[in-house]
Amino acid sequence: MNPIINGTAGPVLQPPRVRYDPTRGQVISLEYESAGVGVTSLASLFQAARINYDLVSSGFKSRLIAEATGSQLGYPDVSCDEWQILANEIQIDLRQHPDVLAMEEKYPGTIGRVARDVQLYEQGLPPGNPPPDPGSIPTSDMLFYLLVTGSTHYDRSQYVLQHQVNVSNVYNGNIADVNVEMIYTMNQLIAEVTNAALWTFPLPPRLVRKLQAIPVPTPKNNFLWGWRKLASKEITTASNRISISTEYWLEQWGCPLPYKSVGPPTDQQ
């Protein structure tokens, strides 16, 4: 005997449920009910669109709850910003060490004389003339010692500002690939990452203060101390989301060659 079904056989949409998740963004839940198995036809449509759903079906009543973030269900996309200050470890030529550069500025030609003596030492010959200025000691002696023992570089931390944003996989906005491979001064970077018109969650004040506390190195001709913006990376994640990652690396970069600044670098800050 076939069951007697009361109600609407087709899917009936219930009031939508909207909640916010700080990782996934705005999460939309749509609930459909029907008499009989009327909502089961929606399951294949949601599956093809990679939209999560939960289906309970019987011969008398069926219910399907679809859950998605962003515009997949016709709602505005809400992005989630995450900021991190990280540190690379990079290798710098010993001759670029601040103490060595200060020695060279005070006693011009000392680096070349030390390099000459290193070559003579490796050939089993005595030091050349003229010798390094006595005032360059002990830095010149230490540089000589490090070079003859095989050390050519030293390790140093490099600050990295990383921004990650989580968006729907149908989001069409360009939010990361602007000014790639260009240099931001500190002020230019902070002005951008704290602009509430550009981010759902701009860089928080604590991280701004940390950036502002980074010591400014001694300026060098044809170099700009600033943040080089790298190309973005995109990774698919759960719930039909895309994680977009962008990094800014702080260093003294050659400018205007090989890199250009975002705008006129009116100062080194």
Q: Give per-residue pLDDT as tens, 182-201.
A: 999 999 999 999 999 888 89
Cα dist. 171→193, 194, 234, 240 in Å? 21, 22, 12, 11
Q: What is the pLDDT of residue 145?
A: 97
Q: For residue 60, give Cα distances in angstroms to 34, 65, 95, 218, 241.
A: 9, 17, 82, 78, 35
The answer to whether residues 32 and 98 belong to one domain is no
* Residues 45, 148 within the same domain: no
Residue with tokens 């198995």: 37
Domain membership of residue 268 (yes or no) is no
On whether both 147 and 159 belong to a single domain, the answer is no
Q: How far apart are CA 229 and CA 218, in angstroms?
A: 22
Res 175: pLDDT:
61
> CA separation (Å) from 61 to 55, 131, 238?
11, 96, 30
Q: What is the pLDDT of residue 78?
A: 74
pLDDT of residue 6 exceeding 80, the answer is no
Domain boundary among 154, 177, 206: 154
Select the highest-mean-pLDDT range: 19-28, 166-175, 256-265.
256-265
Residue 266 reports pLDDT greater than 60: no
CA angle at residue 208 from 204 to 209, to 5 degrees? 120
Query: Are residue 68 and residue 124 in the same domain, yes or no?
Result: no
Does residue 124 form part of some domain? yes
pLDDT at 9: 67
Asked if residue 2 is part of any domain, the answer here is no
Q: Are residues 114 and 141 in the same domain?
A: yes
d(Cα 220, Cα 252) in Å, to the nearest integer? Answer: 8
Q: pLDDT digits over 67-98, tens only?
A: 877 666 777 777 788 999 999 999 999 999 99
Structural domain total, the chain: 3
Q: Which amino acid is at 263?
A: G
Are 99 and 194 in a shared domain?
Answer: no
148 phi, psi to nearest 5 deg: -75, -20
- Distances in Å between the Cα of 147 and the Cα atoms of 19, 38, 49, 127, 140 are 62, 80, 62, 14, 11
Residues 114, 125 within the same domain? yes
Residue type at position 250: L
Return the pLDDT at 250.
98
Helix (H, G, I), strand (E, B) or coil at 104: helix
Q: What pLDDT, on the 0 to 100 scale, is given for residue 220?
A: 86
pLDDT, residue 174, reads 64
State the pLDDT at residue 8: 67
Alpha carbon of 85 to those of 8, 183, 194, 208, 246: distances in Å? 56, 17, 15, 10, 12
Place of tokens 């994640």: 237
197/132 same-domain check: no
| Strand partners of residue 248 | 161, 229
**What is the pLDDT, as a whole number, of residue 75?**
73
Q: Verify that 161 and 247 share a domain, yes or no.
A: yes
Q: What proportion of the chain, given as a percentage, has pLDDT over 90?
A: 58
Domain boundary among 101, 130, 154: 154
**Are 159 and 31 in a shared domain?**
no
Number of Cβ within 10 Å of residue 119's Cβ equals: 12
Residue 67 is predicted with a pLDDT of 84
Whole-prediction pTM value? Answer: 0.75
Q: What is the pLDDT of residue 242?
A: 86
DSSP string computed for 175-199 = -S-SSTTEEE-HHHHHHHHT-TTT-
**What integer pLDDT is reported at residue 265 of this predicted model?**
54
The model's pLDDT over 135-147, given as tens digits with 9 standing for 90+, comes to 999 999 999 999 9
Residue range(s) defining the domain that contains residue 31: 12-73
Do residue 45 and residue 174 come from a single domain?
A: no
Domain assignment present for 7: no
The CA-to-CA distance between both ends of the chain, in Å, stands at: 82
pLDDT tens, residue by residue, 113-122? 999 999 999 9
Q: What is the mean predicted confidence (pLDDT) over 24-45?
A: 84
Burial tier of 28 (Cβ tally within 10 Å: 0-12, 13-18, 19+): buried
Q: Decide if pLDDT at 61 tops 90.
A: no
Q: Per-residue pLDDT tens for 19-28?
A: 877 766 778 8
| pLDDT (0 to 100) of residue 115 | 96
pLDDT score for 172: 77
pLDDT score recorded for residue 2: 55
Q: What is the pLDDT of residue 38?
A: 81
